[in-house]
Amino acid sequence: MSKFIIQVNGAAYASSASYNAYLFAKSALEMGHEIIRIFFYQDGVYNTNTFNSPASDEYDITQAWRSLATEYDLQLVNCVSAALRRGIISETEANESQLSHWNMQAPFIMGGLGELVTGIEKADRVVSF
Amino acid sequence: MKKITIIFRRAPHGTAQGREALDLALLSASFEQEVSLIFMDEGVLNLLPKQKPEQAGAKDYIATFGALSLYDIDTVLVCSDSLAQFGLSEAELTIALTIADTQTISDHIQLADEVLVF
């Protein structure tokens, strides 16, 4: 069995990157591999937008990540600086910036690039999408 | 500690790839990883001097390449074929680096624990 860290760089719906990342993660977990965390970087942070509202007959990638996290107790970490510069903010940052709205919430959390690097250090393999 | 190789393949400023690749490179180095960089394809354009990223509404991260040695990022390879494609010579590049052919780059990638492509 292997330990993976998965980096998601592609925006939700703009490319197939995030869906492929999700399928890879799900398959790896089902096969008994360990995923240290999913790290959202670059446009990948758009996966974590609570306001993503696809049509009812479309795949809901944000909900898919949420369900996977609940089922496998998976860490879903946004790179906070990549997220902030793309308008993805949590309640904490909204309060700090005196904004009345936020669009990221649990199980997604904010973290630093360090969490990607420490993940890479512990993992057998990093897989980027 | 892992050997992390970061490959710059995109032109600067048109996308955020180069800037976010550099952020990751510096952060990884500050977390005591052995970081090396490879510039190839349009990524070699990151190395040109006299860029004015502000005019494209982008942050000037290019100047930060000058700080690589402060972060102990000493292995910086640039693809000779890619330089030739863009008609560039070593003298035009802003930072000290090693011109490498595709075989040398391939060998270097083989030695890395992880390769991240931007």
pLDDT confidence of residue B8: 98
Q: What total number of domains does chain B contain? A: 1
Higher-pLDDT residue of A41, B53: A41
Task: Quote the tokens at residue A106.
Answer: 């649990």
Q: Which CATH class is domain A3-128?
A: alpha beta
**Poorest-confidence range of A2-6, A40-44, B80-84, B95-99?**
B95-99
ipTM of the complex: 0.89
Which pLDDT tens digit goes with each residue over A68-117?
A: 999 999 999 999 999 999 999 999 999 999 999 999 999 999 999 999 99
Q: Does residue A107 have a cis bond before it (omega within 30 degrees)?
A: yes
Note down the domain range covering B93: 3-51+58-117
Whether B59 has a pLDDT exceeding 90, the answer reads: no
For the residues B50-64, what does the mean pLDDT come to? 90
Alpha carbons A45 and A76: distance in angstroms, whole number: 10
The size of the A-B interface in CB pairs under 8 A is 37
CATH code where residue B80 lies? 3.40.1260.10
SS3 of A45, please? helix
pTM comes to 0.94
- Of B72, B55, B64, nearest in space to B20 by CA: B64
Contact A128 B33 (CB under 8 A): no
Return the C-alpha torsion angle B64, B67, B72, B76, nearest 10: 60
Query: Catalytic site residues of A?
Result: 79
pLDDT band at B56 (very low <50, low <70, confident <90, very high): confident
Domain boundaries, chain A: 3-128
pLDDT confidence of residue B57: 87
Contact B27 A117 (CB under 8 A): yes
Which residue in A42, A114, A118 is closest to B16 by CB distance? A42
B117 touches chain A (CB under 8 A): yes
